[in-house]
Structure 1
Amino acid sequence: MKFSNFSNHFNQDSGILRLMNDLGHALNLDQEIYMLGGGNPAAIPQIEVCYRAEMIRLLENGNQFEKMVGNYDPPQGNQRFIEVLAELLNDTCGWSVTSKNIAITNGSQASFGILFNLFAGQFADRTSKKILLPMTPEYIGYNDVGLNESEIFRANRPVIQIDKDDRLFFKYQVDFSAIDIDDECGAICVSRPTNPTGNVITDTELTKLNQLAKQASIPLILDGAYGLPFPGIIFTDAMPVWDGHMVLCLSLSKLGLPGVRTGIVIADAEIIDMITRCNAIFNLSPGRFGPSLLTRLVKNKDLISLCDTIIKPYYKLRVDQAVNLVREYMSDLPVRVHKPEGAMFLWLWFEGLPGTCETLYQNLKKRGVYIISGSHFFPGLKENWEHKLQCIRVSYAGNEKQVEQGLKIIAQVVRAAYQGAHHEAARIKAVRIKAAKA
């Protein structure tokens, strides 16, 4: 069967495809599985009870359920949800958002698929533009969304800062001296907090990036899927930020609703109009389920309270537990952890890792432990950098016992790798000494 050139983009290895396949296939295996690789949010009982109650309200409220499943929304998204969301953002963040500044998509992946292709690729004047990622590693799902055949990202290495008080931790920082915004840049994109590392760029860094974007007359795209104002999975000081020059992307997934596939884009009205047009062409309209389910919680501002009192404390407790397990099981290993400032992952850096993180991924998979190889999280960074091959992403959002056992097995497999490399080095040294004496 013959396919067009369009198919070439999808007929290749993809980190996000591997991630989603792992999530599905692992559930059907007979062996014990420790799913530390996926991006599923935690199943928080209090949150699940809340959503169930909202669903019951829909079912018992006249024909609201029938409207939700039986009607299309307009391509911009559910208008009632958009109106109450604008009110929430203005009241809680002090912004000046109207219904013309918000569009709904079928999940964050759909949001970025539209946005990146709006601002990168081939332009009418025959120029080609790219999305600048001022700091990698970045989200694995960015990698393959560009629909033209050329690379749509340009990325910079971060500055690595080792924590002075606790040397287990390190932190990536934006290297502003390396940022070069030229005519090839169509937009700047940064996530806050970052998947995979849990890094939260500071308010000062974000302000600088926004200023650079304004000076270049290009948008700053801010991926807030884990951040502010919701779900608020941030453990350090940070302010919710948006202005008319910025494109803020939010999601309902990390509130515990990944299955409803609801993304939110807050931007200038011209950008919202383009997203609306893309929605109509590719999807007819975005789904109604997520917006319908959460409209009452957004209108009453209960959503923010749930984030502050349940979701954020839950993840803070879990991340502290996970870090303690790393200390317990890996104290003899050359491991560092990116300072976990948000999101739901630990980013582990094994300095001098024998082999690569891809080899480690395959060896862990044989033991039933699913992680994500760090090499997939550097879109647009072309230079050879050993650091890319020494990191893995571990989710701590799953079952507590499985997370603990998974981290224990990771420690065992990594320890064996270092010991094997040490024994091999000793063997080679002995052979060379023997040959020299001969």
Structure 2
Amino acid sequence: MPHPPPHDESVASKPATYERAEAGRGSCLEVFLIFLRLGLTSFGGPVAHLGYFRTEFVDRRHWLDDYAFSDLVALCQFLPGPASSQVGMAIGLRRAGWAGMAAAWLAFTLPSALALIGFALGLAHFGWLSGSSVIHGLKIAAVAIVAQAVWGMGRSLCPDRPRAGLAVAAALICVLLPTSLAQAGAILLGAAVGAATLQLPPRPILANRMPGASRREGYIALAVFIALLAGLPLWASLADTVLADQVWGFYRAGALVFGGGHVVLPLLETATAAGGMISEADFLAGYGAAQAMPGPLFSFAAFLGAMSPGPLTGWWGGLALLVVIFLPGALLLAAALPFWESLRRRPGVRNMIAGVNASVVGILLAAFYDPVWTHAILGKTDFGLALLLFALLVYARWSPVWVVALAAAGGWALGWLA
């Protein structure tokens, strides 16, 4: 009877045993076609995406083993950015090099992005749709979905009083000061308090290195990430143009997302709706529609880019800002891959990230209040529909796709009865 692997940080896990799991053994086209199918069928959010990936690449194709896949998931949950998309990019990098990484991202993201850009252009062409009862139903769906995210993230990321207190403090900061600086300050507060006060138990290390990026390439990726993080706000300040504000706002959102795709909501709201680029009604309608799409929630950026004014708008704007929001997560992934084993052994780093995760729960809670709740719940019937949708998500385990469809139908029915 086989023995389980030892849970000791000093003992590495067994290496991948499949010959096909070696880096560079596949083609870019192979990676693209497999991820395109996943991008068309992967409904259910990041957790479901990871399940699809494990079935496809561990069980079916044997591109990597369970140990390597577990290590990769742990890395991408540790980094800011869209975790499931980062896992897909790392698998593409391992399989077919840098071109494979780009192919995996493009194929997994493009189906939902194109659908959301089409939805955005429809709203822009038929302006009356923004105030229709069906669109109001999508906004109520956003209330239930964000409430589920806050509920689930709060239970898993704030299990004790110190982290619950951090979440409350971050929520108060962001409600009282609804700016991007306040959100960044709340994240820094979480990092500082986590590193100074939290004492998390050590976790077992499954030391199965993911090949694909060299240390030199990791240093280059980190340098580019830092240069953009420092240079883009300076450009936005000096240029004072819509284009500079768009690029910096979307890059900042992609660079500061910890804890799950839903956390991108307040960051993008600050970058677009709060600055007057699009209306709150259109923002929430797009967010509701994004829940019904397969693939990553970050594709919501394509909708916002297509709706925004300025030089980056329409199809090109949606695709360009889609690249911008994913870029920091891709750079951080490439930077961290060669150093992951030594980095994750440091308890101070784990404590800091735990504090950051608690703060992002508070940031999402603040966004749940404003704009999600304040712009969607306008009466008792709206509240009743939102409560029903929340119960279907949390207790009946309905797919968000069916919840969004029911919300649209419920919004239409409420509008017809009014």
Compute the TM-score of the two structures, normalised by the length of structure 1.
0.27
Hey, which of these two has a bigger chunk of strand by percent?
Answer: 1
Compute the TM-score of the two structures, normalised by the length of structure 2.
0.27
Hey, which of these two has a bigger chunk of helix by percent?
Answer: 2
Q: Larger Cα Rg: Structure 1 or Structure 2? A: 1
> Relative contact order: is structure 1 or structure 2 higher (C-alpha 8 Å, sep ≥ 6)?
2
